Copies of this chain bind each other. A is one copy, B any other.
Amino acid sequence: MSDPTSSWAAADAQRSSGEAAPTPRSEKVYLEGPGGIRVPARKVMLSGRSEPLYLYDTSGPCTEDVRRGLPALRDGWIQARGDVEWIEPGYRGPELERIPGPMRRRRVLRGTRTITQRWYARQGIITPEMEFVALRESVDPEMVRDEVARGRAIIPANPNHPESEPMIIGRKFLVKVNANIGNSVVSSSIHEEVEKLQWAVRWGADTVMDLSTGADIHATREWILRNSPVPVGTVPIYEALEKAGGKPEELTFEQFMETLLQQAQQGVDYMTIHAGLRLQHIPLTTGRVTGIVSRGGSILAKWCLAHHKENFLYTHFREICEELCRYDVAVSLGDGLRPGCLADANDEAQFAELETLGQLARIAAEYDVQVMIEGPGHVPLDMIRENVEREIAACGDAPFYTLGPVVTDIAPGYDHITSAIGAALIGWQGAAMLCYVTPKEHLGLPNKEDVKEGMIAYKIAAHAADVAKGHPGARAWDDAMSAARFEFRWDDQFHLALDPERARQYHDETLPGPAGRLAHFCSMCGPHFCSMKITQEVRRFAESRGLDPREALADGLKQKAAQFRAEGGHLYRPVDSASGQDSG
């Protein structure tokens, strides 16, 4: 693998060439909150009398130098609480050399007691993180506190990741999207992974999970954390398995805890832990078409069988919580037995594990550890609702974090679409965060373009869910686009689009140049057939008769309509029998 620090010149050149520049007619602005809180938003300027639109923004501050990382936004808030201490980090391996000096931390933070957002919330304390997300979501800070206290929402916020801009995951808030990045043994470098991170947040990722399993796993994570404006999740069992030489049966709980602590000290904000996969569940999978498809689940299943013992993550779950609460690492209870195909959806194995996840969620609550519950996977449309209902029932309303689900298995290469369908539906029905799926799912590791395609499909799914849930303000975006469409403000349509560049490019393919952007029609129908144009003419027609285009047109026609009704309004009776046959 090439030296990661040497390959940034190319990245810098690319950035300055505008690829990472803000979208046109957009600027990053900050909404000012109490105590100097500044919440990022994307302001989209619109033409004419239209008010600008403010959109949720995940892209983070502009990185001047990825070797230095982002500013430590939350440092002051964390220190001010006075309940953390500096300790020596546990990791001392060779990968430290692959972490540039300005990014390397000699000491890390640990709580002197429980320091989770959930704990503060239960004490009645509204933290700056809660203020931040309240402003970010346009909701009341007290509501945020209450949801976090009840365990219905989480704010992943490890003090060792002060660079992150707080965000909240819960059913009453905007549906969030996670982007998976990370290398594997057969592919990619640190450079590429940091680029994928930046690319993912540019397209709206609310969190990223670093699923690296290949070389430089510790260093890659450090680069990602120091440059991530969003919470970072991991699956520590992956790194633990590397320590066990890739052999599941040689894993030990000590290896796992060492890994967990090193990652917590780096700043990982949430961790997937497959503690709910119990020995007794494994036989339930033997009749499945695709068995166990979760990587973590299959690793632990193999361990359980090799030792004929209960999953050590289950038996040691309290010890795990005792550490997580000192770093405010949220636990994402992994669904190791999630179905890997439609045939296995909603089966006994899946739901048996879900019940266990509910038990574990209650234990985590005792430690004020923030919890979310992972969900499938592969589920036919008609079986999605049951997943949400059971999760709520079993897990006491802990946020549901689902992977898709894909709703059909027949379209490898298009699983961003098969799964965006399921994701939109499960988001509407209550899932709080959706883990994106890229077009490469089931086939290979995503490249940068795949990350974008996956993100766009999932921003669509999440926003469709927000609109359907009636999240306050969600539809303003759609309405601004619709108004621009009706008024032929092409440039505004492009600027408002999830992907402004593609919208403009597609339009220009058939109606190029500045004239095309002023056209009061598009190439779909041409000028004669443009329904929007004709509708506008209809309104002008009314106006030319001295009528207000909206109300008076209605009034004028209402008289006509009243006449109809007075005549019985029967089908097939000529409107105006005096004129004989209809001239048209």
A93 interface residue (CB < 8 Å to B): no
A428 interface residue (CB < 8 Å to B): yes
A485 interface residue (CB < 8 Å to B): yes
**Stretch in A7-15, A96-104, A135-143, A297-305 touching the partner:** A297-305
Give 1 or 0 for each of A295-332: 1 = CB within 8 Å of chain B CB.
Answer: 10111011101111110101111100000000000000
Q: Let me know if B407 and A467 touch, CB within 8 A.
A: yes
Q: Which residues of B contact A407 (CB under 8 A)?
A: 424, 464, 467-468
Q: How far does the Cβ of A39 sit from chain B's closest Cβ, in whole Å?
A: 21
Known: A408-B460, A478-B409, A582-B312. A499 touches B414 (CB 8 A): yes
A280 interface residue (CB < 8 Å to B): yes
Bound together, the chains give a CA A89 to CA B457 distance in angstroms of 49
Q: Which residues 209-260 of A sit at the B interface, judged by CB distance below 8 A?
A: 213-214, 238, 241, 246, 248, 251-253, 256
Give 1 or 0 for each of A496-535: 1 = CB within 8 Å of chain B CB.
Answer: 1111001101110111000000000011111111111011
Our pick among B411, B445, B561 for the contact of A456 (Cβ within 8 Å) is B411
Bound together, the chains give a CA A359 to CA B569 distance in angstroms of 12
A382 interface residue (CB < 8 Å to B): yes
**Stretch in A16-24, A119-127, A154-162, A415-423 touching the partner:** A415-423
Q: Let me know if B252 and A583 touch, CB within 8 A.
A: yes
A343 interface residue (CB < 8 Å to B): yes
Q: Let me know if B289 and A343 touch, CB within 8 A.
A: no
A372 interface residue (CB < 8 Å to B): no
Bound together, the chains give a CA A537 to CA B301 distance in angstroms of 11
Known: A506-B444, A529-B184, A575-B310. A550 touches B478 (CB 8 A): no
Q: How far does the Cβ of A62 sit from chain B's closest Cβ, in whole Å?
A: 24
Q: Let me know if A286 and B414 touch, CB within 8 A.
A: no
**Closest residue on chain B to residue A254 by CB atoms:** B584
Q: Which residues of B contact A308 (CB under 8 A)?
A: 560
Our pick among B534, B553, B575 for the contact of A292 (Cβ within 8 Å) is B534
Known: A287-B550, A531-B292. A280 touches B380 (CB 8 A): no
**Stretch in A73-81, A395-403, A435-443 touching the partner:** A435-443
A91 interface residue (CB < 8 Å to B): no
A-B CB contact pairs (8 Å), 24 listed = A186-B526, A213-B528, A256-B584, A279-B557, A279-B564, A280-B569, A286-B553, A298-B531, A305-B557, A309-B576, A318-B572, A342-B475, A343-B478, A380-B468, A407-B464, A410-B481, A411-B499, A412-B493, A413-B497, A414-B457, A414-B499, A440-B506, A442-B485, A444-B507
**Closest residue on chain B to residue A336 by CB atoms:** B531
Q: Let me know if A424 and B493 touch, CB within 8 A.
A: no
**Closest residue on chain B to residue A362 by CB atoms:** B571
> What is the interface size of chain A, counting residues whose CB is below 8 A from a CB of the partner?
162
Known: A315-B582, A412-B493. A382 touches B428 (CB 8 A): yes
Q: Let me know if B283 and A561 touch, CB within 8 A.
A: yes
Q: Which residues of B contact A445 (CB under 8 A)?
A: 510, 523-524
Q: Let me know if A482 and B340 touch, CB within 8 A.
A: yes
Bound together, the chains give a CA A317 to CA B572 distance in angstroms of 8
Q: Let me know if A483 and B289 touch, CB within 8 A.
A: yes
A86 interface residue (CB < 8 Å to B): no
Our pick among B305, B342, B541, B542 for the contact of A467 (Cβ within 8 Å) is B342
Our pick among B298, B510, B531 for the contact of A297 (Cβ within 8 Å) is B531
Q: Let me know if B584 and A467 touch, CB within 8 A.
A: no
Q: Let me know if A482 and B290 touch, CB within 8 A.
A: yes
Bound together, the chains give a CA A420 to CA B181 distance in angstroms of 26
Q: Which residues of B contact A411 (CB under 8 A)?
A: 456, 459-460, 497-499
Q: Let me know if B534 and A302 touch, CB within 8 A.
A: yes
Known: A561-B279, A564-B280. A299 touches B252 (CB 8 A): no
A185 interface residue (CB < 8 Å to B): yes
